[in-house]
Chains A and B, each alone.
Chain A
């Protein structure tokens, strides 16, 4: 297996030439522009955020652009995300976003880890110890993701009400785990299918038990797959809104739900605050993707490179 090293990637730029690299940069800028606007807005006062035409430049860039397009950056939005400055009718109110961020991280993290643990074992079983009707089982697992979420929300809500899971961490974590399992199983199975069975036989001859083969031989080879699957699941769970809206309680609310509830009130939408929450909300996803980028690259190119 050969992966693209840093040096090779630099060489890729050389090969593509400056024209194509610049083209790619422009395209990236266009795609990233809305995100950029949100990040900029997070640093604006309420009045600046509402200004037309949009003030896109911080004031230290005033020598470059007309003054009416600049704003004075402020951190007050970020402060208000976590402090009691969210006022309703003059009374200070706890925005509570420290709790909501914790909820989002805890719920997404737990459900992805749980889905990885269960799904990886299931995938290994499907890949290495196929049952009669293996493909049918795999298809049945996939069908659980075929209906739009809105179709199953009522039965799920009823189940949660009856079992008392509504509004609890356990409930929403179990639900997200169930959501993540199908694609975790499918993705991990495809990674296990790529491994050479000879290598596992070699380990058996070298004295490994089935457990040893799984943990010492197979798992280390699919680390890239685990990373790719984890990021995929994290993003899906991190962004989930509908079920979180209906099935989490006041204490277990996730950021997307809480964010939507800041809209409204007597001064209208507080764009600056909303943008600050969104900016903070982006950070974990960017961090995870950044730290796993090499693994991800291997994950998405897995099997496309001849070994």
Chain B
């Protein structure tokens, strides 16, 4: 029972179809009270539909949605205690900033004295006091974003839904707003559900991330869990940049050695299926330049992409192309065509079944 009261949101078995299109299929996840929860996945996997279902803009076909331990599946939108910031901000274009802030309170029947006070607080918090009399169209993108946030926060919702709120901002602003959102979350301690297709946003902001595919959650976990122990190839390639190297391999019967095109490779995995085709996954950051005494894999540099303090180097080993991330110092003076010995540690090896992409867990 104690565990239940700590939940701000529980989505269980939710399905939603639009005509012939299945938007959500048996969707399940839980959000802790006060948590920063991220729904992550490329566009059209059902993130927006999920948010719209939580706040009540879409009726679900089956399943249930609990807010704060109470069933809200069929509750009226205004009774859910959930507010949302839209990707397009959706400010009221005919109202000033102050009127935009006051609108939800007016609709809730809050007294004009309290409205004034709470608009004041919100404006203070979001540093918008100089813009109160402006219409949204005269504001910058970042200001519009803050107004949208303020309008959602002013009602003090139990859960704040954010639908790709940074997508419409330029890169610099996006960075600032990420920090601002984290600050607000700490300051207000409210539950946030944040949908984004941007892996960097997901990893840097989420305390808990649900990776979505085709209207369901494929894996839910902390950023570290998703990064270290992806449940399948989909999660493995969506989380982490540059993407994980994937190679077709098979396991040999003796010593659990892996047969790769660049020779045998050892892993921590035990009793791997030998009959089945497998996929080897290695993070580019886990492909290292071999030190003396380590098992070495001969390779040849095929492409060098400097990215500032890091350099992504593609190497050819056997038939396989591998990307590796090197520090700028390690990559200095490297040339394409140069021979190089690389090493992959057994603990950094991920193995997936080729047939369905599911990870074979390693004991480590």
Show the binding face of A for B, using Cβ within 8 Å: 1-2, 196, 198-199, 201-208, 212, 216-217, 220-221, 223, 307
Contact = CB atoms under 8 A, between A and B. Distances in A.
Contacts, number: 64
B104 interface: yes
B137 A199 contact: no
Interface string B80-104: 0011101110111111000000011
Contacts of A207: 77-78, 104, 107-108, 155
28 contacts: A1-B137, A198-B86, A198-B88, A199-B91, A201-B57, A201-B84, A201-B90, A202-B91, A202-B151, A203-B92, A203-B107, A204-B57, A204-B77, A204-B78, A205-B55, A205-B56, A205-B82, A205-B83, A205-B84, A206-B78, A206-B104, A207-B77, A207-B78, A207-B107, A212-B107, A220-B94, A220-B95, A221-B93
A216 B100 CA distance: 12
Chain B interface residue number, banded:
20 to 34
Nearest to B137: A1
Contacts of B56: 205
Which label, helix, strand, loop or mixed, suits the secondary structure of the A interface? helix
A208 B78 CA distance: 8
A217 B92 contact: yes
Given A203-B103, A206-B103, 17 more contacts: A198-B86, A199-B91, A201-B84, A201-B86, A202-B86, A202-B91, A203-B107, A205-B56, A205-B77, A205-B104, A205-B152, A206-B78, A207-B78, A207-B104, A207-B107, A207-B108, A220-B95
Contacts of B151: 202, 206
A198 B168 CA distance: 15
A294 to B, nearest CB: 14
Contacts of A212: 107
Nearest to A197: B90
A175 B93 CA distance: 37
Contacts of A202: 84, 86, 90-92, 151
Contacts of A205: 55-57, 77-78, 82-84, 104, 152
Contacts of B78: 204-207
Contacts of A203: 92, 103, 107
